[in-house]
Amino acid sequence: MKTKGKIFLSILLLIILAILGAGIYCYSQITPVAQDDNSIRFEVANGDSVRKIAGKLQEEGLIKNETFFYYFVRKPVLLKIFFSKDPVSDPIVLKSGIYHLHAGMNYAQLINELSSGQQEYIRVSIPEGKTITQTAEILQDAGICLVDEFKAECYDPKLLQSYNITGESAEGFLFPDTYFLTAGMTAREVVVLMIDNFFTKVQEIPGFMELEPQKMYETVILASIVEREYRVEDEAPLIASVFTNRLRQNIGLYSCATIVYILTEIENRPHPERVLLEDTKIDSPYNTYKWAGLTPGPISNPGMVALKAAANPPKTNYYFFQVADANEGRHVFTTTFDEHKASHNLSTKN
């Protein structure tokens, strides 16, 4: 009996030692890698699995054991056992985005951060007058989404229909602004954000939201041309009045900006230093030298200055405008062609 008792005690001791050893090992694996609070930029891509995230955390030196981290995420009760902390959610969901983590964080802190969604935002500024393509390139350079993905969403008929946009694309409705985006956003989410911003902003323009869809679209087209023509803010309404007067008389707009759109967006040519006479003869419905009326669609995404000018242009007798000061971007506005020629000759001499 004494021998059996010794054997039992020995086995029990071994079990206790094994459990203790396992506990010590487990504890050593889940403690912070180092007492270090130096921030590391850590990205969780859209669609990353828990196992992949765990592997990336170990590669970055933020955890010691990716397998242990994986099971802590999959079995939230472990947080309660080892850290006396209830899980942030059950099941735990690690969210895509860019985070700032450090090697001094324990599993509970890491999981809390990665599941909080409080991630780093990417600041992206879209200037007034950019096209869909140019906007897509800015977003791609910022690491948000690919050019082709963004453009595809801008041409999605179902998306356009949901906003009562009567054109073939979202051109003109991607409001130029500074956006705070995340790396995990889809192209569709970005397009929706920009269109939503457009309709929020234009609510401050008197009468704009009351326009019928087609009339609203035509106003945006006009604004997109004004946007590419004005350089000094107080001249935008006058330029809009010139175009409005010409539209009423069925006179071509003669806008160089529409020619540039044809060259760069339709023919994919480099931005010209200046518009040549031969360019004004291009056979395109966007050629306002060849055809009267508005272009089939917007040629840019206008800002508030151009939108306000196009929505409520002042009543003038102007039918022409000519650059008077290239450095300041100011124009001289005239009523007759003779006055226009005179102003052209004067500006040429100067």
Give the per-residue pLDDT at 182.
Answer: 80
Q: Residue range 227-252: average pLDDT? A: 96
Structure-block tokens of residue 213: 């869809």
**Residue 305 clears pLDDT 70, i.e. is over it:** yes
Q: Residue range 321-327: average pLDDT? A: 81
Q: Provide Rg for the chain, Cα atoms.
A: 31
Q: Residue range 35-63: average pLDDT? A: 88
What mean pLDDT value characterizes the chain? 88
Contacts of 93 (CB under 8 A, 6+ apart): 115
Give the per-residue pLDDT at 329.
Answer: 81
Note the Cα 36 to chain centre separation in Å.
Answer: 35
Higher pLDDT, 194 or 186: 194
350 CB burial (10 A radius; 0-12, 13-18, 19+): exposed
| DSSP output for 192-216 | HHHHHHHHHHGGGSTTGGGS-HHHH
Give the per-residue pLDDT at 350.
Answer: 43
**Residue 55 clears pLDDT 70, i.e. is over it:** yes
What angle do the packed helices 66-74 and 50-59 form, to 10 degrees? 140
Q: Which of 7-16, 41-50, 223-232 has the highest mean pLDDT?
A: 223-232
pLDDT band at 339 (very low <50, low <70, confident <90, very high): confident
Pick the range with the lowest mean pLDDT from 45-59, 82-96, 185-199: 82-96
- E strand or H helix at 20, and its extent? helix 2-30
Phi first, then psi, for residue 12 (nearest 5°) are -60, -40
What does the pLDDT look like over 265-302, one tens digit per residue? 999 899 898 888 999 999 999 999 999 999 999 999 99
**Residue 349 clears pLDDT 50, i.e. is over it:** no
| DSSP output for 226-275 | HHHH--SGGGHHHHHHHHHHHHHTT-----HHHHHHIIIIIS-PPPPSS-
Cα–Cα distance for residue pair 123/54, rounded to 1 Å: 28
202: left (phi over 0), alpha (psi -120 to 50) or beta: alpha
What does the pLDDT look like over 242-255, one tens digit per residue? 999 999 999 999 99
Cα–Cα distance for residue pair 176/301, rounded to 1 Å: 7
pLDDT band at 348 (very low <50, low <70, confident <90, very high): very low
Phi first, then psi, for residue 287 (nearest 5°) are -85, 100
Helices assigned H by DSSP within 84-186 = 107-114, 132-141, 147-154, 157-162
Cα–Cα distance for residue pair 90/82, rounded to 1 Å: 16
**Residue 85 clears pLDDT 90, i.e. is over it:** no
Higher pLDDT, 282 or 328: 282
pLDDT band at 146 (very low <50, low <70, confident <90, very high): very high
- E strand or H helix at 125, and its extent? strand 122-125
Residue 98: strand, helix, or coil: strand
- CB contact at 8 A, 181 and 122: yes
Give the per-residue pLDDT at 214.
Answer: 97
**Residue 228 clears pLDDT 90, i.e. is over it:** yes
Largest CA distance in the chain: 126
**Residue 187 clears pLDDT 70, i.e. is over it:** yes
| 42 strand-pairing partners | 99
Cα–Cα distance for residue pair 296/254, rounded to 1 Å: 15
Contacts of 304 (CB under 8 A, 6+ apart): 201, 204, 205
- CB contact at 8 A, 217 and 196: no
Which amino acid, one-letter code, is at 23?
G
* Residue 176 CB coordination number (10 Å): 23
- Tell me 184's DSSP state: T
What angle do the packed helices 304-311 and 213-229 form, to 10 degrees? 120
Give the per-residue pLDDT at 54.
Answer: 93
Higher pLDDT, 58 or 20: 58
What does the pLDDT look like over 98-120, one tens digit per residue? 888 998 999 889 998 898 876 67
* Omega prior to 285 cis, within 30 of 0: no
Q: Residue range 54-74: average pLDDT? A: 91
